[in-house]
Amino acid sequence: MAKVVGIGKQAFDSVIENDCFYIDKTSFIKEWWENKDDVTLITRPRRFGKTLNMDMIKCFFSNEYKDRGDLFEGLEIWKDEKYRKLQGAYPVIFLSFAEIKKNNFKDTKNDIISIINEAYKQHSYLIRSNVLTDAEKGIFDKFDNYSKDTDVSKEMSNEIVCRAIKDLSSMLYRHFGKKVIILLDEYDTPMQEAYVNGYWEELVGFTRSLFNSTFKTNPYLERAIMTGITRVSKESIFSDLNNLVVVTTTSNQYETAFGFTEEEVFNALDEQGLSDKKEEVKRWYDGFTFGDKRDIYNPWSIINFLKFKRFKTYWADSSSNGLINSLVKTGSSYIKMMMEMLLKGETIAVPIDEQIVFSELDYSEDAVWSLMLASGYLKVISSDALTGDRTKAVMYKLALTNFEIKLMFENMVLRWFSPAKMETNEFIKALIVGDIESMNEYMNEVVLNTFSSFDTGKKKSDKKVPENFFHGFVLGLMVDQTENYIITSNRESGFGRYDIMLEPIDKNNEKYPGIVIEFKVINQRKENSLEETVAAALKQIEEKNYDAELIKRGVKAENIHHYGFAFKGKEVLIDGR
Q: Tell me, what's the pLDDT at 195?
A: 84
Among 515, 503, 321, CA closest to 430: 515
Sheet holding 39-43, edge to edge: 92-96, 180-185, 221-228, 39-43, 244-247
Sheet holding 293-297, edge to edge: 260-261, 293-297, 288-290
pLDDT band at residue 414, thresholds of 50, 70 and 90?
Answer: low
Minimum mean pLDDT range among 107-116, 145-154, 449-458: 449-458
Is the pLDDT at 340 greater than 90, yes or no?
Answer: no
Which amino acid is present at 147? S
Alpha helix segments (H runs only) across 157-288:
158-176, 189-197, 200-211, 234-237, 262-271, 278-285
3-state secondary structure of 117: helix
pLDDT band at residue 476, thresholds of 50, 70 and 90?
Answer: low
- Going 348 to 349 to 351 to 354, the CA torsion angle's sign is positive
Q: Tell me, what's the pLDDT at 336?
A: 78
**Contacts with 355 (C-beta within 8 Å, 6 or more apart), sequence order:** 231, 232, 233, 234, 235, 392
Q: Would you give the distance in Å from CA 505 to the centre of its chain?
A: 36
Q: Once rounded to an integer, what is the mean pLDDT over residues 536-545?
A: 92
3-state secondary structure of 519: strand
pLDDT band at residue 407, thresholds of 50, 70 and 90?
Answer: confident
Among 476, 32, 27, 472, CA closest to 247: 32
Which amino acid is present at 241? L
The whole-angstrom separation of Cα 96 and Cα 384 is 36
User: Quick one: what percent of the chain has pLDDT higher than 70?
Assistant: 88
Is the pLDDT at 181 greater than 90, yes or no?
Answer: yes
The whole-angstrom separation of Cα 201 and Cα 195 is 9
- Is the CB of residue 313 less than 8 Å from the CB of residue 321? no
Bridge partners (DSSP) listed for residue 223: 181
- Is the CB of residue 301 less than 8 Å from the CB of residue 265? no
Neighbours of 40 (CB within 10 A): 19
Q: Tell me, what's the pLDDT at 34?
A: 96
- Is the CB of residue 30 less than 8 Å from the CB of residue 78? no
The whole-angstrom separation of Cα 394 and Cα 88 is 42
Q: DSSP readout, 330-355? A: TS-HHHHHHHHHHHTT--EEEEE-SE
Q: Tell me, what's the pLDDT at 35?
A: 95
The whole-angstrom separation of Cα 223 and Cα 494 is 63
Q: Tell me, what's the pLDDT at 479?
A: 64
The whole-angstrom separation of Cα 359 and Cα 356 is 9
The whole-angstrom separation of Cα 86 and Cα 30 is 11
User: Quick one: what percent of the chain has pLDDT higher than 90?
Assistant: 57
Q: Once rounded to an integer, what is the mean pLDDT over residues 370-395?
A: 73
For strand 293-297 and strand 288-290, is the pairing parallel, antiparallel, or unpaired? antiparallel
Burial of 195 (0-12, 13-18, 19+ CB in 10 A): buried
- Is the CB of residue 205 less than 8 Å from the CB of residue 218? no
The whole-angstrom separation of Cα 492 and Cα 544 is 10
Minimum mean pLDDT range among 218-232, 233-247, 384-398, 523-537: 384-398
Q: Tell me, what's the pLDDT at 359?
A: 61
Q: Tell me, what's the pLDDT at 339?
A: 84
- pLDDT tens for 255-311 read 999 999 999 999 999 999 999 999 999 999 999 999 999 999 999 999 999 999 999
- Please, what is the angle between helix 262-271 and helix 299-308, to 10°? 10
pLDDT band at residue 457, thresholds of 50, 70 and 90?
Answer: very low
The whole-angstrom separation of Cα 531 and Cα 573 is 7
Among 407, 403, 383, 412, CA closest to 287: 403
The whole-angstrom separation of Cα 182 and Cα 93 is 5
Helix (H) or strand (E) holding 118: helix 105-122
Output the CA torsion 269→295→53→211 (10° steps).
-160
**Contacts with 161 (C-beta within 8 Å, 6 or more apart), sequence order:** 109, 112, 113, 116, 206, 210
Q: Tell me, what's the pLDDT at 445?
A: 73
pLDDT band at residue 462, thresholds of 50, 70 and 90?
Answer: very low
- pLDDT tens for 192-245 read 889 888 898 899 999 999 999 999 999 999 999 999 988 876 657 887 788 899
Q: Tell me, what's the pLDDT at 324?
A: 76
Helix (H) or strand (E) holding 374: helix 367-375
- Is the CB of residue 417 less than 8 Å from the CB of residue 476? yes
